[in-house]
Amino acid sequence: MATGGTALRNGAHGIQDASLAASRIAAPTAGCGKAPALTSGTHTLRINGKSRSYILKLPDNYDQDHAYRLVFGFHWLGGTAIDVATGRTVENGTWAYYGLQRPANNTAVFVAPQGLNNGWANTGGEDLTFVDTMVSQIEGALCVDTSRVFSVGFSYGAAMTYALACARATVFRAVAVQSGGQLSGCEGGTRPMAYLGIHGIRDSVLGVSGGRALRDRFVRNNGCAPQNPPEPAQGSLTHRITTYSGCSTGHPVEWAAFDEGHIPAPQDGAGGDSGSRTWVPAEVWKFFTQF
């Protein structure tokens, strides 16, 4: 089946249908039924003597009785929370929260954390502690669904998202790892996790072989049938998506390879990023909202 006119999709979709989403029971937080104790904007925390901050985006017309999805978007090396929250490095507004704010259409709470030194070294697990603290604060202050917490990131942000997949598989429902590498650690790393890997076959910063290795950990953890997914030809400027078969219920693995380099918003038929033409946000949002 074609995606965006020029992509190919392979594999069985089995568990990735509406029935999977319907089978999960919403788990509302303590913040439900109360006026929100946090508002959209920048919030600061003090953790182990260090100042940490994140940007929060509540849905318009926030409903205190509705349990929203909670989506974290982690920036790349040298990037900022503002870059993620605005999308300004690719296409201002359109690319906000890796382009997910538009398809979410006020159905999710978004979080853009700020890394120390604009990165996610996760020294001594301090970035995991930061995430734990944010999740706890947000769940206490807002009405979110603890069974639908997600993370997406590009490059170093993808590495942090991968670290969460390894270490916080009981907290996060699914992750999207865009052009990542194992830079932020992988504490634990034995539990299943719904995993979407996206990587450019011409990536010269964090090579696609590393992205495949990250993916294969969760192919194993999730009990999927191993395979070498087909990838687009160099020069084709297309993408190809494979859905693994045999994965344990609720733990799909998808692999989206594209013919480009180390970029977050590839488009079919042309080089470079495009916030409006990229196929990535639609795929990520579809992957997240199956739950």
Predicted confidence at residue 21, as pLDDT, reads 42
Predicted confidence at residue 2, as pLDDT, reads 35
Strand 194-200 with 144-154, pairing? unpaired
Question: Which of 25, 64, 284 is CA-nearest to residue 148?
Answer: 25
Predicted confidence at residue 20, as pLDDT, reads 45
* Tens-digit pLDDT profile for residues 214-271: 999 999 999 999 999 999 999 999 999 999 999 999 999 999 999 999 999 999 999 9
Q: What's the pTM value of the predicted model, to 2 decimals?
A: 0.93
116 by Cβ neighbours in 10 Å (0-12 / 13-18 / 19+) ranks as middle
Predicted confidence at residue 55, as pLDDT, reads 99
Spans of the chain, pLDDT less than 70: 1-9, 11-25
Contact 4, 279 (CB under 8 A): yes
* Tens-digit pLDDT profile for residues 278-290: 999 999 999 999 9
Predicted confidence at residue 18, as pLDDT, reads 40
- Measured distance CA(3)–CA(227) in Å, rounded: 21
Predicted confidence at residue 110, as pLDDT, reads 99
Q: Delimit the domains of the chain by residue range.
A: 41-289
CA-atom Rg of the chain in angstroms:
18
Residues written for the chain: 291
| Token pair 């953890």: residue | 221
Predicted confidence at residue 11, as pLDDT, reads 63
b/e code 80-115 from CB counts within 10 Å (16+ = b): bbebbbbbebbbeebbbbbbbbbebeeebbbbbbbb
What's the CATH number for 41-289? 3.40.50.1820
